[in-house]
Amino acid sequence: MFAYIVRRLIYAIPILIGVNLLTFVLFFVVNSPEDMARSQLGEKYVTAEAIENWKKENGYDKPLFFNESNKGLSSVTETIFYTKSVRLFMLDFGQSESGRDITADVAQRMWPSLALALPTFAIGIWTNICVALLVVMFRGTALDRGAVVLFVGLMSISYLFYIIGGQYLIAKMWRLVPISGFDASIHAWKFLILPIVIGVISGIGAGARWYRTLFLEVSHQDYIRTARSKGLSEITILFKHVLPNALIPILTGVVVVIPLLFMGSLVMESFFGIPGLGSYMLDSIERQDFAVVRSMVFIGSILYIIGLILTDISYTWADPRVRLN
Amino acid sequence: MSESVLIIRDLCISVGSKQLINSVSLDVHSGEIYALVGESGSGKSLTAMAAIRLLPDALKVTSGRVSVKGQELFGLKEKQMQEVRGRRIAMIFQDALTSLNPVQTVGDQLSETLRRHLNLNSEEIRQRTINLFKEVGLPDPERRLSFYPHQMSGGQQQRVMIAMALACQPEVLIADEPTTALDVTIQKQILELVVKLARERKLAVLLITHDMGVVKNTADRVGVMYQGEIIEENPINDFFENPREQYSKHLINSLPDMRHYRKSDESQTPLLQVSDIKIHFAIRKGILQRVKGYTKAVDGISLNIAPGETVALVGESGSGKSTCGRGILNLDKLASGEIRFDGQRIDDLSRSKMMPYRKQIQVIFQNPYSSMNPRMTVGEIIEEGMISLGLKLNAEQRSAKVDELLQRVRLDLDSKRRYPHEFSGGQRQRIAIARALAVNPKLIICDEPTSALDVSIRAEVLNLLLELQRDFGVSYLFITHDLSIVPHLAHRIGVMQNGKIVEQGDTEQVLTAPQHPYTQSLLASVPRID
Amino acid sequence: MKIVVLWSDALIFLLVAVIATFFWNMRKDKILTERWRQVFSSRLGMVAFVVIASYILIALLDSLHFRKALEPVEGQPADQVFYENRATSVLDVLMGDMADENERTYSAPFSLKSFEKVNMKADDGSSIRDFPPLVHAGKHLDDPADKPADIVKQTFIALIIAIVVCAFWIGPQWYFLRNSELPWKSAWIAQAVIILVFVWLIYVGNLYHVLGTDKAGNDVLYKSIKGIRTGVLLGTLATLVMLPIAVTLGVCAGYFKGWVDDIVQYLYTTLSSIPGILLIAASVLLFQVYIDLNPDFFTIGLQKADARFVGLCFILGVTSWATLCRLVRAETLKISQLEYVQAAHAFGVSNYRIIKRHILPNLTHIILITFVLDFSALVLAEAVLSYIGVGVDPAMTSWGNMINEAREELSQEPAIWWTLAGAFFFMFTLVLAANLFSDLVRDAFDPKTVDGGAKA
């Protein structure tokens, strides 16, 4: 197990290097710092001087890979590649283009994101499994068929409609909760409850439908037939035999996203004015603040790799047949 | 005669408007093993599933009744039926590994049944579970409680299934092909266990099987099923001595005849010489996944095959016999040793140099369903080799050749425009034979070509192979786990175990006077007509 | 008139050609035709297909662009023709004057008056503040009070036109297909309903603003229908870009194994470890920078928007091949272990031929399922991307842009709901039909019916 985790961590290094190179190519080679300066400054007829100033301010006035004017180690470190990309490995995210410290921003904005994403995720899975179990209990009946059509209908509605509709109905028409906003204290629940409810409901269609398929697939296995031949009741079979086996594919799909919950949801947070990482990313996309986007790409990749490792570990827990080596 | 425990009367089952089971009636008495025999699709399993009321939803019982000691089952509510299952009727299935829940320990799976039907405290349940494991002959039963199914061997898994079925002392046991997935040596032990338990516990056993050897060794009475009907029912001795129906005779004749052997002719120079080949698969371990060892799938095998000769390579699953075949075909790399064909070394040839020999050595695989691309017509399948091996034929000649081959293997000429899924298993295996013959090979490696087929079809395919050998003089390397077909087929035999040939020689000599203990145990478990 | 071929126009017709060839080749394959028969033998499948096909037809009609010649102005040489600065599509022609019927600002559905009060001069010269009448809605009415009766009357006329169209459209189908076993009846009913709805929408839509107008006074119905092209093209073109990458890499990895496999696995693990939305956002922004800095490439505004649109399709395709690649690799690994591939090796069949004859044909079901599953996912994704600001060009009509606008409008008092309703209706119908259809396709083609798309 330990050897396995160490090996996976070693495997992660080339992947992170790949991510790093890819983002570097995207941000500095496809578009040169001049291009970015031009579009940041916005004007069509900016002077060469303004561009140079902007580059200097933001630390883009260095060569890409190799600085000939410097000697020794600094010929490599005094480059855009080193200052902007390699330093990410030391979790040094530097400054955003508006001059704020990205590391501090991330550390502060992580928690509101988590406060929204974690409950949405946990309640969502719980709800989906319950709904799917209920439907599977009535398999083959009109209720089952109706539920499937309902699921497909629900998943055909854009996420945005759920948010806009939910905000309109619950917050504006019925005035049950505030439309948007956030509070750092325990009173945050007032603001969080609506996005959580909307997040859960918008996921039911796709989620419950997927779980239903998994449950049905398991219930066609030979060992379910054996369980029936032992005289077990359908409820016992569902909870003691179908559910534990269906948990294995559910885990693979679900565990990998847990670390990514820190990243929050772009759309949800901006709609409800929650100052998390999601709205942070959205703001930086809108302001074309590539320093932040680059850092978030890197953080996201790390979290994804952690998610993959967690998935494998959770496998051993859910499925006795799997051993890591 | 003792009383009838399980009674099935006039059972009819249909799917849609199609009748699958037509008025099946049978009685099983206590302490009796009733064998329901038939080939795949004859409806024997459906009959059993109907008796325990676990038919798939699409199938409907249209008429008939089933009773256990006077209790009518079809009139019961589903809740009441659950009380009957496992308590009065229990069932064991063919494939124990897939029939056991993979994520629950076998101890839990067994005690679950006890808890469901009997009012016991947890200590009593534990004690009973251990006793049951002991009774079915599981070694070290207390430790086995916390095992998961995949940690046990196939035979042990089937023993767990039997223990589970017998947990609540049912009156009826339905065994649906309980030994088909097992190796012959294990098969014999499991059958002996079932017979022993049936006698001791006065069980009424409904044994479903396609294997006449199993019937002969275990059953008291036999019912032969054919196309949804029981066409003949007789006590075991009458049945084998005096079968009424032509079909029954056919089934009985499919049992191996261990009295006539093919004689080998040793004077010829060998066509294929395999000397001391080894095929290893790497095992990777540790942080850097370095190669830490090898699975020795084939560990030093030598054999020769003369022109027109058949050599059988016999062994249980995992003995490395198929890998050996793949090695000869140059599909797996050899770790060491050499293979000579017609005196020329072929194991180290490059792709292009190997091409002329690909014409000479062909292969027929076990599974007739996966050995043909479902998206190609039979004509295209047979032609493929002629094209790729550059047989220098134009399209017309190729088409003529395909016609000729189809005739040879006794298939209709219009078959070539049809797709594999339109054919039965036996027909597909003929197509596979035609495909191999298309390039005029001198040697055909037959990798379990008949083990997926029903017994009656098996004989036809084997006879076809013999006939082709007579006409074309091809040699066969016949890989099989089924010792019973060997005498009829092979001049010489090699018995494989753990990647090695433990005994090799003329078929008659090896099978009548086996030297190695493994050969002896294999032979002892083969059912036969004496 | 001068024909304009946008990049996306060319690509969508290329895609149609590719799909047509694909199906033409598939016709020989008995198993696949049998599966398709299964899809179409359900009434639901027929109806869903008719709905999707209608959307595609509209999208194709909207992809035939041309520029109208301007009326010669005085003093212009006779042999010189000037063209309008915008492109018109065949669909615009079919929809009549809806494109040009602009009002000043918001107006409610079927309303004759604007939504906002303005200062107006009354007949007697005094200045009053009232809702101004709309320029294009109900101008044929003598008395505004006749509106309800007129709507019924116009509906009736539209109905008659629709019935005539139906007779000409469905009649021949009935004649040729009446003996077929497939449930064509459902298909015809669905077609009739769709023709009815569209004829009514277009006929009445030319007289009133059936779905009102938006802030800039554009007809919302017109915008919603124009959104069809964006949705359909995005849903198909992105997959078209993604398929060759995913299939080539997946097959190579699964078939050749070894270092090829290592590289492909490394590539898709790296790619999928980057949060998708950020990668897309970054790529789109960078592409936008490129467009902004090279304005000379595009002669008309639509071409600029189209460049961004095609860019978006490429970006979506290039960033999303990992999932399919993984599936294709796994399936190829499985197939290359099968005995028929082993037999082909024993016959010395070349690698190229094994891939072409044995592997690719047996991957078709995965490709098909991915194609239909991704379609609805992409249509939905467009809305979210447009909201984030990295979707299609704001100047291009799309449902995502409409929803984006509608967000502010709903919080007004009284709420302006029709923009949202228009986008919702057209989008929901398409996605629902696509989802239902993909369900059936999956049931028919997937041996195991597993939700591969839901795996991370």
> Could you tell me if A28 and A171 lie in one domain?
no
Nearest Cα residue in chain C from B438:
C347
C447 CB near a chain B CB, below 8 Å?
Answer: no
Count other C-beta atoms under 10 Å from residue A110's C-beta: 18
Q: Is the dihedral angle over the CA atoms C402, C408, C410, C415 positive or is it negative? A: negative
Count other C-beta atoms under 10 Å from residue C5's C-beta: 13
> Could you tell me if A172 and A264 lie in one domain?
yes
Q: What is the pLDDT along chain A (325 residues), one digit of tens a residue?
A: 788 888 888 888 888 888 888 888 877 766 677 776 776 666 556 677 777 777 777 667 776 666 667 666 666 666 777 777 777 777 777 777 777 888 888 888 888 899 899 999 999 999 999 999 999 988 888 999 899 999 999 999 988 889 888 888 887 778 777 777 777 777 778 888 889 999 999 999 999 999 998 999 898 889 999 999 999 998 999 999 999 999 888 887 888 889 888 888 888 888 888 888 988 888 888 877 778 888 888 899 999 999 988 988 888 888 888 776 5
Nearest Cα residue in chain A from C273:
A301
- Alpha-carbon gap, residue B80 to B100, rounded angstroms: 24
> Could you tell me if A155 and A275 lie in one domain?
yes
Q: What is the pLDDT of residue B295?
A: 80
> Could you tell me if A170 and A218 lie in one domain?
yes
| Partner-chain contact C290 A297, CB within 8 Å | no
- Alpha-carbon gap, residue A265 to A117, rounded angstroms: 7
List the structure tokens of C125: 């010269």
Residues lower than pLDDT 70 in chain B: 1-2, 254-260, 264-267, 285-289, 527-530
| Partner-chain contact A217 C448, CB within 8 Å | yes
A123 in a structural domain: yes
> Using H for helix, E for strand and C for coil, what is the string for A115-162?
HHHHHHHHHHHHHHHHHHHHHHHCCCCHHHHHHHHHHHHHHCCCHHHH
Q: What is the pLDDT of residue A67?
A: 67
- Chain A closest CA to C105's CA: distance in Å? 23
- Alpha-carbon gap, residue A92 to C66, rounded angstroms: 53
Mean pLDDT, chain C, integer: 84
- Convert the pLDDT of each residue in C196-219 to its tens digit: 998 888 888 888 887 888 887 788
Count other C-beta atoms under 10 Å from residue B218's C-beta: 21
Of A60, A90, A120, the residue that ends a domain is: A90
| Partner-chain contact A266 C388, CB within 8 Å | yes
> Could you tell me if A12 and A118 lie in one domain?
no
A96 in a structural domain: no
A125 in a structural domain: yes
Bigger pLDDT: B314 vs C297: B314
DSSP secondary structure code for residue B150 in this structure: G
Is the predicted pLDDT of residue C454 greater than 50, yes or no? no
Of A59, A90, A121, the residue that ends a domain is: A90
> Could you tell me if A118 and A218 lie in one domain?
yes
B·C CB contacts under 8 A: 65
C275 CB near a chain B CB, below 8 Å?
Answer: no
> Could you tell me if A36 and A132 lie in one domain?
no
> Could you tell me if A152 and A65 lie in one domain?
no
- Chain A closest CA to B59's CA: distance in Å? 14
> Using H for helix, E for strand and C for coil, what is the string for B381-426?
HHHHHHHHCCCCCCHHHHHHHHHHHHHHCCCCHHHHHCCHHHCCHH
Q: What is the pLDDT of residue B207?
A: 93
- Alpha-carbon gap, residue B53 to B67, rounded angstroms: 12
> Could you tell me if A189 and A281 lie in one domain?
yes
A48 in a structural domain: yes
- Give the best residue of C273, C323, C376 to mutate against chain A (max A CB count within 10 A): C273
Q: What is the pLDDT of residue C452?
A: 35
Q: Which residue has the tokens 């299939």?
A: C247
> By three-state DSSP, how is residue B449 classified?
coil
In this complex, the chains that touch A, judged by 3 or more CB pairs closer than 8 A, are B, C
List the structure tokens of B32: 């009796």
B162 CB near a chain A CB, below 8 Å?
Answer: no
- Chain B closest CA to C358's CA: distance in Å? 6
A101 in a structural domain: no
Count up the domains in chain A and report the number: 2
**C104-107 long-range contacts, Cβ below 8 Å, gap at least 24?**
C104/C132, C104/C217, C105/C213, C105/C215, C105/C216, C105/C217, C106/C212, C106/C213, C106/C214, C106/C215, C106/C217, C106/C409, C106/C416, C107/C134, C107/C137, C107/C209, C107/C212, C107/C213, C107/C217
- Convert the pLDDT of each residue in C393-439 to its tens digit: 888 888 988 888 887 787 777 778 888 888 899 999 999 999 999 88
Q: Is the dihedral angle over the CA atoms C141, C147, C150, C156 positive or is it negative? A: positive
Say if residue A165 is exposed, middle or buried (CB neighbours under 10 Å; 0-12, 13-18, 19+).
middle
- Convert the pLDDT of each residue in C340-373 to its tens digit: 998 898 888 889 999 998 999 888 888 888 888 8
A105 in a structural domain: no
Helix axes C220-256, C418-445, angle to 10 degrees: 30
Q: What is the pLDDT of residue A44?
A: 59
Q: Which residues of A touch B58 (CB under 8 A)?
A: none
Helix axes A189-219, A102-137, angle to 10 degrees: 50
> Could you tell me if A84 and A114 lie in one domain?
no
- Model-level pTM? 0.85
> Could you tell me if A306 and A168 lie in one domain?
yes
Give me the domain span that covers residue A314.
110-318
Buried b (16+ CB within 10 A) or exposed e, C327-347: bbbebbeebbebbbbbbbbbb
ipTM over 0.95: no
Q: Read off the CATH number of the domain in which A296 is found.
A: 1.10.3720.10
Q: Work out the pLDDT band at C451, boundaries 50, 70, 90.
A: very low
CB nearest A230 (choices: B116, B285, B288):
B116
> By three-state DSSP, how is residue A89 classified?
helix
- Convert the pLDDT of each residue in C160-205 to its tens digit: 988 898 888 888 888 888 878 888 888 888 898 999 998 888 888 8
Q: Which residues of C touch B365 (CB under 8 A)?
A: 339, 342-343
> Considering chain C, what percentage of its residues have pLDDT values greater than 70?
97
Q: What is the pLDDT of residue C453?
A: 32
Full DSSP string of C37-94: HHHHTSHHHHHHHHHHHHHHHHHHHTT-EEEPBPPPPTT--TT---B-SS-EEHHHHH
> Could you tell me if A194 and A308 lie in one domain?
yes
| Partner-chain contact C347 B361, CB within 8 Å | no
Of A33, A58, A90, the residue that ends a domain is: A90
Nearest Cα residue in chain B from A244:
B103
- Give the best residue of B53, B92, B93, B101 to mutate against chain A (max A CB count within 10 A): B101
Nearest Cα residue in chain C from B440:
C347
**Most distant CA pair in chain C, distance:** 99
A6 in a structural domain: yes
Q: Would you mind telling me the total number of residues written for chain B in this entry?
A: 530
Q: What is the pLDDT of residue C186?
A: 87
A103 in a structural domain: no
